[in-house]
Amino acid sequence: MTMPDNFRAFRIHADREDYRAGIEDVSLDDLSPGEVVVRTAWSSVNYKDALAGTGKGRILRRSPLVGGIDVAGHVVASTDPAFREGDAVLCTGCGLSETRDGGYAEYARLESRWALPLPAGLDLREAMILGTAGFTAALSLHRMEQNGQTPEMGPVVVTGATGGVGMLAIDILTRAGYEAHAITGKMDRLDFLKLLGARQVISRRELHWGQRPLETATWAGAIDNVGDEMLAGLTRVIQPYGNIASCGLAGGHSLATTVMPFIIRGVSLLGIASAGTARHIRDAVWQRLGSDWKPANLDGICTKTVTLDELGGVFDTMLDGGSFGRTLVQVAA
Ligand SMILES: NC(=O)c1ccc[n+]([C@@H]2O[C@H](COP(=O)([O-])OP(=O)(O)OC[C@H]3O[C@@H](n4cnc5c(N)ncnc54)[C@H](OP(=O)(O)O)[C@@H]3O)[C@@H](O)[C@H]2O)c1
């Protein structure tokens, strides 16, 4: 397949004195090296993309880079025989928009070791509604189950419930047979959270956890997108041998708690670092996302679709906590 000499990309310049981001014309030679060239169909907007795209978080470790930590599309050329022209592939994390050029461009160049053939059960659009957010939610449950979590232990609570990771976590937990509960700052979205499967929805502003090192054990596990006081509070209220997956910092990056939940209740705090997940775990989690863990409400969870030109407008809302569901980026589908 022939490709144009130049194509459009949302490129971020994050130098010490100069921060700017916007649409530029780039060529294949401008992109980080890799074996697989992909015609991008879809990408998505994650919290990390908003941090990178506005310069409000130090995400890029090289500059300039094309933004976008997620990408899905069709292979146009590959020097690795494992991929052929026309193959549908996706990539999430793996250094995109951090150490190498990402998915906010009409073409992306990927390292073949991180390009995943599209799993059975998903189309490219669905794969990007999931994107890093869905992979992170599923990776959280994967790690919790590896550490002994089962539906029989009781309900699992999800914080930051109306965000991308949060909504997908509620849907995935429900598909996996868990009773999911939601903690949210947006009680006006209660009906939608219930539609996803949340059996209880609790207002973040009306949480009355005590401050003792151990409070009444309420949940068997938690997927936390918020961090700081929320995560500290969760450590005090998780049942014996329950797991807390710490994946986010939408409320802050601190953590002030005691060792009591760990040494008295055997609670485990599991770190979730989706971008650097090993390939064999990545493959296993994506297989489940296309099969028994596939969220039932992907179309509803995708609340917005934007073009490359419209990207700048969505970042600030996300960083201000105004997100509701997932934003897709339609590049060429
Ligand atoms: N570890 C990883 O590999 C990984 C991967 C993806 C994302 N993340 C992190 O996970 C978090 C969620 O990501 P996302 O893409 O789902 O972002 P998102 O769509 O913006 O969702 C974040 C949600 O957190 C809640 N929130 C926002 N500000 C808050 C505050 N000040 N205090 C308490 N809650 C607040 C809001 O939900 P409610 O209004 O419903 O409470 C918001 O919708 C982010 O911190 C992101 O960096 C980590």
pLDDT digits (tens, 9 = 90+) for 119-169: 999 999 999 999 999 999 999 999 999 999 999 999 999 999 999 999 999
Query: Which segments of the chain have a pLDDT < 50?
Result: none
Task: Give Rg (Cα) of the chain.
Answer: 20
Q: Name every protein residue with a CB atom under 6 angstroms from any ligand 1 atom.
A: 46-48, 132-133, 136, 160-166, 184-186, 204, 225-226, 247-251, 272-275, 318, 321, 323
Q: Quote the ligand 1 centre to 80 CA distance (angstroms).
A: 36
Rounded to 10 degrees, the C-alpha dihedral 154/155/156/158 comes to -170
What's the pLDDT score for residue 209? 84
What's the pLDDT score for residue 2? 80
Would you state the structure tokens that stand for residue 171, as one six-digit string?
């849907």
What's the pLDDT score for residue 231? 98
Q: Which residue, among 301, 290, 299, has the nearest Cα to 118 in the 3D structure?
A: 290
* Residue bearing the CA closest to ligand 1, atom 9: 248
What's the pLDDT score for residue 333? 60
- Longest CA–CA separation in the chain, Å: 65
Q: Measured between alpha carbons, how far is 272 from 246 in angstroms, rounded to an integer?
A: 6
Q: Quote the ligand 1 centre to 250 CA distance (angstroms).
A: 4
Q: Quote the ligand 1 centre to 34 CA distance (angstroms).
A: 31
Q: Quote the ligand 1 centre to 198 CA distance (angstroms).
A: 17
- Tell which atom from ligand 1 comes closest to the C-alpha of 45: 15
Q: Letter for the amino acid at 3? A: M
What's the pLDDT score for residue 7? 97
Q: Quote the ligand 1 centre to 321 CA distance (angstroms).
A: 7
Would you state the structure tokens that stand for residue 119, as one six-digit string?
């799993």
- Tell which atom from ligand 1 comes closest to the C-alpha of 167: 16
- Tell which atom from ligand 1 comes closest to the C-alpha of 159: 41
Q: CB-hemisphere CA count at 13 Å for 5?
A: 0
**Token pair 């297989």: residue:** 287
